[in-house]
Amino acid sequence: MYKGSPLCRGSRTDRDNGLGADMMKRNIIALMGALVLAALAVYQNFAAADKEAALPKETAPKPNFLAPAFSLAGLDDRTYSVGGKRDKPIFLNFWASWCGPCEIEAPDLKRLHDKYGEKIDFYAVNMTQYDKLANVRAFAERFGFDFPILLDKEGEAADLYNVVGIPTSFIIDKNGVIVDAFNLLNPNELEKRVKRAVSGS
């Protein structure tokens, strides 16, 4: 009498029950995975909402406030804007060609732009209201500035940022929030501030 292959034991009902149990397990695992993904999405939405709520609502030229917005023409005749969210933070520097401390700082700005320029935008706002364009161009060429030189011909930006002495610099994060403000710093401290802005810490 044929007893069947030892690899195919059990009745059809047994096999059907086994298949049903396997299917149920797979359905439970799929359901659990879907629940985990849904919970993660809800958490991310709440986290994004909390982060948005934590952003400052007021504008002022000092850390932990939204940066005052402005647009200025550059030495290259292009228009540049500051304020609001963007892809990279901004290093905003106010200067003039006749300013001795600005001359001291200029090589450091060039060096830092060469090193970090792909991760942070450098905008040098010239106090053109008290400067001459020929001197601005000569200064930029002498120090090899290859980042935008913004011309504040009416003193609009300087007024918005309460600039009373130069050089004065502000670091603005990607959310448009001022995270740092300072005057002339030694090269190591200046780079430390830029690295902090680039890392987002």
Work out the pLDDT band at 6, boundaries 50, 70, 90. Answer: very low
Q: Per residue in 82-93, pLDDT tens?
A: 999 999 999 999
Same domain, yes or no: 47 and 127: no
Split into its structural domains, the chain has a count of: 2
Measured from the Cβ of residue 92, the count of other Cβ atoms closer than 10 Å reads 22
Residue 109 domain flag: yes
DSSP string, 141-171: HHTT--S-EEE-TTSHHHHHTT--SSSEEEE
Kindly state the greatest CA–CA separation across the chain: 112
pLDDT of residue 2: 37
Full residue range of the structural domain in which residue 80 is found = 70-199
Same domain, yes or no: 47 and 75: no
Choice between 54 and 119, residue whose per-residue pLDDT is larger? 119
Token reading at 55: 């952003």
Token pair 């991310």: residue: 44
Residue 108 domain flag: yes
pLDDT of residue 132: 97
Does the pLDDT of residue 118 top 60, yes or no?
A: yes
Check if the beta carbon of residue 109 is closer than 8 Å to that of residue 122: yes
Same domain, yes or no: 30 and 119: no
Same domain, yes or no: 23 and 117: no
Q: What's the CATH number where 187 sits?
A: 3.40.30.10
Rounded to whole angstroms, the Cα distance separating 108 from 106 reads 5
Rounded to whole angstroms, the Cα distance separating 35 from 27 reads 12
Residue 165 domain flag: yes
- Exposed/middle/buried for residue 73 (C-beta within 10 Å: 0-12, 13-18, 19+): middle
Does the pLDDT of residue 1 top 60, yes or no?
A: no
Same domain, yes or no: 104 and 185: yes
pTM, full prediction: 0.74
Q: Per residue in 106-117, pLDDT tens?
A: 999 999 999 999
Q: Per residue in 15-47, pLDDT tens?
A: 555 556 666 777 677 666 666 565 555 445 443
Rounded to whole angstroms, the Cα distance separating 19 from 158 reads 76
**Cis omega (within 30 of 0) for bond into 148:** no
pLDDT of residue 54: 80
Check if the beta carbon of residue 144 is closer than 8 Å to that of residue 105: no
Residue 157 domain flag: yes
Q: Residue 70: in which H helix or E strand, if any? A: strand 70-73
Same domain, yes or no: 126 and 170: yes
